[in-house]
Structure 1
Amino acid sequence: MTTDIRRIGVVGGGQMGAGIAEVCARAGLDTVVCETDNHAARAASERVTASLERAVQRGKLERLAAEDALARMIFTSSLDDLADRQLVIEAVVENPQAKTEVFAALDKIVEDPGAILATNTSSIPVMRLGMATRRADRVLGLHFFNPVPVLPLVEVVSSLHTTAEVAATVCDFAEHTLGKTVVRSQDRAGFVVNALLIPYLLSAIRIAESGFATAADVDAGMELGCAHPMGPLKLADLIGLDTVAAIATSLYDEFKEPLYAPPPLLHRMVEAGLLGRKSGRGFHTYDRG
């Protein structure tokens, strides 16, 4: 049983993967980040470096601590570099086939039979990913929230095969090593947070789609009338409209409830590449610089 987790692997160095890698390195862990190619690995390194620099500039992190965190990180384009990891966290695109392929590959590469494989999926059933391996009992969901270095919550999701010992180990790791607050969930699409959040976001999109109110007014209504720190359409832009659509689709596929069905406008915006903050335009317009 792996109890003292010190060697971490992260597959995917995008917004979520980079954030997960950063919090692991800041917690003093030996962290390897794997991307699809050398260019993407360099981009992941730059993403983490920029995030650490922002934390320093805002007085949230000492410069020496930021330098130490970077020194604990390796960025690679080879999954083979994860062979000795005790915990590997998958954070690739929210696509069942892509994630399944990653887990099948990790099952062959990660050498320690006691190692734990985790997914940062927002909505894809953990069981599906675990069954791509020969160690489904050591696969579970470890769902962080964006931005990972700032938001304190993680969801730990056990499949029908995940052992109680593995879940307890990961909960302890998230709480005491990473300093996060853990909520536990059963393995159903959306888990706890997105099962509640996504219908709210979709409802806001439908209001804007119908012309009932502008995006600015929808967000102002929830920020000023309900004391939400961010309006639903700004939040959808921050999450990424492609990610919102993917989660909604997973929820609708599982439950067939109309409140989970992605509105046509959401599909059209994703097709047009209007993905929110990361593309510079979604329901609002952003300075990509």
Structure 2
Amino acid sequence: MEKTDLNSMLLFLSVVDAGSFTLAAERLNMPKANLSRKITQLEANLGITLLQRTTRSQHLTEAGRTYLTYCRQIKEQVELANASVAQALTEVSGELKVGMSVGMGHEILKPVLSQFMRAHPQVNLQLSLLNRRVDVIDEGFDLVIRIGELADSRLIAKRLGSVSRRLYASDTYMKQHGPITSPHELGNHAVLLMSSIQKSEVVRLQNGAQHCDISVVPRMRIDDYVVLKQMVLDGVGTAILPDYMCAQEPQKNVLLPILPHWQLPAVEVYALYPKNRLHIPKVRAFVEFIQGVFTDRLSQPEKV
């Protein structure tokens, strides 16, 4: 086995993350042919195929998946080495890959994200809005924002706040179907559920020390809060929504809290990032930014 060029390993990582040689070449600002030749030479040096390539797709081999893990570790060490120098200059720069849910991205981050981008012009942000649990390390994220408990011991969790949730309906729906004065009346109404969170058709509500389990037959199951909220605004039914998504609506008399004193148990929101990642200035700057954003947004007075 010949000596491996570190740059070729990072190029291989870029191709995998981009999903294609064409997109990777564009991001790296280098000819696609040169990039392909580098990866072919890397495979020749290793004596094994890392990527199975066709005209339409590429797939990691088993050896490629193993090799990719070490390439990511090397990239992180390179960034930490560079950060040790940049930190002295408080330079916030470089590629930053962040993931969060679609709903939080639109409702919390979108209105203020330009502030971060203007404050840090040397940062190139790759923001992924998705409603699935990602593998932070294997998928190359610098940081993800997630609801719920931390299960990966390789990650550090920084609490951003607590999300309260309750039932909401549109003013139009309430005028058509009348007020809901008791949790037990929900069974007679069109209920829309967030499928990725509400697995059961039994909704547990609480009012102080009181608890109430309500069985519902969902009119719709949706896996995205943005679409779910729109269905509620359009009068399709009532749904459990995070309060931060509805804070402005009561002022417009469009979206109203139903049974305002009854709500679901609050859930915690965390920023998750690999160990030592906070030492990199770009990551530290974004964590500090979103800490302020979430503290402000999730601490707004409830409008009930």
> What is the TM-score with the length of structure 1 in the denominator?
0.27
* Higher-Rg member (1/2): 2
The structure that is strand-richer by fraction is 2
Which structure: greater helix fraction? 1
Higher relative contact order (CA 8 A, sep 6+): 2
